Structure 1
Amino acid sequence: MTEEHSEMTGLKVVNVGRDGKRRYDRQTKQKLVEACLEPSASVAGLALKHGVNANLLRKWIKLHQQRLAGTSLQPAPTGTAFVPVVEVDSHEEVVAPASANAHRHTPAARTSSPAMTSARLMVQMPNGVTLRFECSGNDAPLLSAMIETLGRCDVPPGR
């Protein structure tokens, strides 16, 4: 265990590991973070003055602010590529046929009335994922954009 302390910097190194990673005294680290939070303080300048990497100092500041806010530094849960869709049971479906090699999806509609108030779309992706959408007549531009985007997707089969 090594103790280094420079009166000029005020930051105290408590331990240097085998990998060269330094462990700093919590109190002096806290004082440095608080100095960075002062108005017109330069984080890069203070980091340079104290011999600490500016990115590391920014990380300490972020952790300090999260502790004050009562949040943790846990990564946000990763979601799927698409927004969850509510499945709708119906006898009439709008189907987009998809083959394993096709990159363009052309919807084929089966409807009983020409004036439809809502549209239903089911897309079978090459990787086996099935997407079902139900949209009102006002959602036609959104549905059109989704179909266009799905047509450009390069989804490997069986993924």
Structure 2
Amino acid sequence: MENKTRLTRALIVGHGRDGRRRYDPEAKRELVKVCLQPGTSVARIALEYGINANLLRKWIDRYREKETSEAEVPPTLPAFAPVLSLATAQPTGSSLRVVLPNGVKLDLLGVEQTDLPRLLNCLAALPCSASNPG
């Protein structure tokens, strides 16, 4: 036979006028945490403390509901990402028009002269289309 679980506080703190027991909220939490341990029988714990097993299961359900509602919900991301326009009213740099052998056209406006070599290297490093040999 297993040892009786010990709580740090008294579970029953009094009785109401109608004869119902009043329970210490912290002791209830402790008892629920004991019941949530793997391999623990809720019915056995209820018998040990002289309470109805259905009442203890109700406490467990309320504890779980409260725990899930208090869990931090990650912030939701907006359904759409904002579109930012990178075009300026008057292009300050050079403009570059590239037509690739596969028909892809790139119009680059406002490209600074210092950025052109890096941009061209990136374009040259792109793999060729499978439809166009070479």
Which TM-score tier does this pair reach, normalised by the shorter chain?
Answer: 0.3 to 0.5
How does the TM-score come out when normalised to structure 1? 0.38
